[in-house]
Amino acid sequence: MNGVHDMGGMHGFGPVRPEADEPVFHAPWEGKVYAMRRLVGAWRRWNIDAGRHSIERMPAAEYLRTSYYEKWLQSLEMLMVERGLITAAELASGRADPAAPKMTPPVKAADIPVIATARGSSERETSVPPRFAIGQKVRTRKINPVGHTRIPRYVRGRTGTVELDHRAHVFPDSNADFRGEAPQRLYTVSFAARELWGDAANPADAVLVDLWEEYLEPA
């Protein structure tokens, strides 16, 4: 979707300043938010793409104001209410409704190491042959979807070259709306900096973006 979260190539937000010796968490509450996100996610009431889309749906001013883990917390609250894990009244009061159904199976302490270290893969098998070959020129479609998408605005309608074929992966645009995984080919496409930013860009620079097949058409 087109929102303030899609900041690639935008001016006016200041330089990116990496923090030297940055800790994993800046405060204990950030670690707790991370733990809650992983723990509640173990019940699989949503997927990673729906999680990303929930952050994108934050009001623009709130998105810009909040820190990284504040976004995670607001996203978690939104998803838990929307997917029926808690009610809006429980969230507002901070107290569980004694009559509310309990999630099963319960998560026990012994389950935590497995949950915390679990890693999934978005790669899927497909019998559909690739539409594009490595080295082929492609043009990105100029689309403006209202839902989740992984094509940045700054590459839409631009021409690049296919550099890698990553095989088939879950299609985020469909998965975020719970319309199924709809796996399709994922490519790394190289764009010359001047194709994206004009003559002021360094002619030696390029940007590589991973893009699903549906975003592309022959150039």
67-74 long-range contacts, CB within 8 A, separation 24+: 68/30, 69/25, 69/29, 69/30, 69/33, 69/34, 72/33, 72/34, 72/37, 73/33, 73/36
- Cis omega (within 30 of 0) on the bond before 15? no
Is pLDDT at 12 greater than 80 in this prediction?
Answer: yes
Residue 118 confidence (pLDDT):
81
Is pLDDT at 104 greater than 80 in this prediction?
Answer: no
In a domain, 100, yes or no: yes
Q: Residues 33-73: pLDDT tens digits?
A: 999 998 888 888 999 999 999 999 999 999 999 999 999 99
Question: Is 132:213 a contact under the CB 8 Å cutoff?
Answer: yes
Angle between helices 68-82 and 28-41 (to 10 degrees): 30
Same domain assignment for residues 104 and 175: no
Same domain assignment for residues 111 and 148: no
pTM above 0.85, yes or no: yes
What is the dihedral angle through the alpha carbons of 193, 134, 129, 179, rounded to the nearest 10 degrees? -20
Number of domains observed in the structure of the chain: 2
Same domain assignment for residues 110 and 181: no
d(CA 41, CA 44): 5
Residue 113 confidence (pLDDT):
83
d(CA 188, CA 104): 41
Burial of 94 (0-12, 13-18, 19+ CB in 10 A): exposed
Residue 125: band (very low, low, confident or very high) from pLDDT cuts 50, 70, 90: very high
In a domain, 149, yes or no: yes
Same domain assignment for residues 170 and 98: no
Q: Give residue for tokens 């012994």.
A: 110
Residue 131 confidence (pLDDT):
97
d(CA 190, CA 207): 6
Same domain assignment for residues 53 and 104: yes
- CATH number for position 106: 1.10.472.20
What range does the domain containing 147 cover? 137-218
Same domain assignment for residues 108 and 157: no
Count of alpha carbons within 13 angstroms of residue 30, beta-carbon side: 11
In a domain, 168, yes or no: yes
Same domain assignment for residues 157 and 92: no
Q: Residues 167-219: pLDDT tens digits?
A: 999 999 999 999 999 999 999 999 999 999 999 999 999 999 999 999 999 99
Same domain assignment for residues 144 and 108: no
- What is the average per-residue pLDDT within 115-120? 82
Instruction: Report which of residues 105 and 135 the model is more confident about.
Output: 135
- What is the average per-residue pLDDT within 100-110? 81
Question: Is 169:122 a contact under the CB 8 Å cutoff?
Answer: yes
151-154 long-range contacts, CB within 8 A, separation 24+: 151/211, 151/212, 151/215, 152/6, 152/8, 152/9, 152/209, 153/2, 153/6, 153/8, 153/9, 154/8, 154/9, 154/196
Angle between helices 48-56 and 68-82 (to 10 degrees): 110
The conformation of residue 64, written as its DSSP 8-state character, comes to: H
In a domain, 13, yes or no: no
Same domain assignment for residues 183 and 106: no
Same domain assignment for residues 62 and 106: yes
Is pLDDT at 103 greater than 80 in this prediction?
Answer: no
